[in-house]
Amino acid sequence: MATLIMENCCVICRKEKALFNCERCSQIFCSNHIIDHCQQLNKQFEDIQVTCDLFRQKFTERIDDPQKNPLIQRINQWEQDSIKKIQQTAEKTRQIIIKHMIEHKNKIEIKLAKLIDHLQENRKENDFFETELNDWKEELIKLEEDFVKSSNISIEKDSTSLINNIFVQISGKHFYLILE
128-152 mean pLDDT: 86
Please state the φ and ψ torsions of residue 3, each to the nearest 5 degrees: -115, 150
Residue 28's CB is within 10 A of a number of other CB atoms, namely 20
- Predicted confidence band at 8 (pLDDT cuts at 50, 70, 90)? confident
For residues 17, 20, 33 and 18, what is the CA-based torsion angle, rounded to 10 degrees?
Answer: -20
User: What SS3 class is residue 55?
Assistant: helix
Residues 63-80 pLDDT 10s: 888 888 888 899 999 999
Is pTM beyond 0.75 here?
A: no
Residues 33-71 pLDDT 10s: 988 998 999 999 999 999 999 999 988 888 888 888 888
What distance in Å separates the CA atoms of residue 104 and residue 95, rounded to the nearest whole number?
14
pLDDT at 45: 95
Residues 87-117 pLDDT 10s: 998 899 888 888 888 888 899 999 999 999 9
Better-predicted residue by pLDDT, 135 or 128: 135
Question: What's the chain's average pLDDT?
Answer: 84
What distance in Å separates the CA atoms of residue 62 and residue 3, rounded to the nearest whole number?
47
Please state the φ and ψ torsions of residue 167, each to the nearest 5 degrees: -120, 150
